[in-house]
Amino acid sequence: MTEELSKKPVTISRDELYRQVWQNPMGQLAAAYGISGNGLAKICRKLAVPYPGRGYWARKTAGQKVSPVRLLDKAAGIPSQVA
pLDDT digit string, tens, across residues 28-40: 999 999 999 999 9
Beta strands, E only, the chain: 12-13, 81-82
| pLDDT number for residue 3 | 55
What is the number of other CB atoms lying within 10 angstroms of the CB of residue 54? 7
Instruction: Please state the pTM of the whole predicted model.
Output: 0.82
| pLDDT number for residue 80 | 77
φ, ψ for residue 13 (rounded to 5)? -85, 165
Inform me whether the pLDDT recorded for 47 exceeds 80: yes
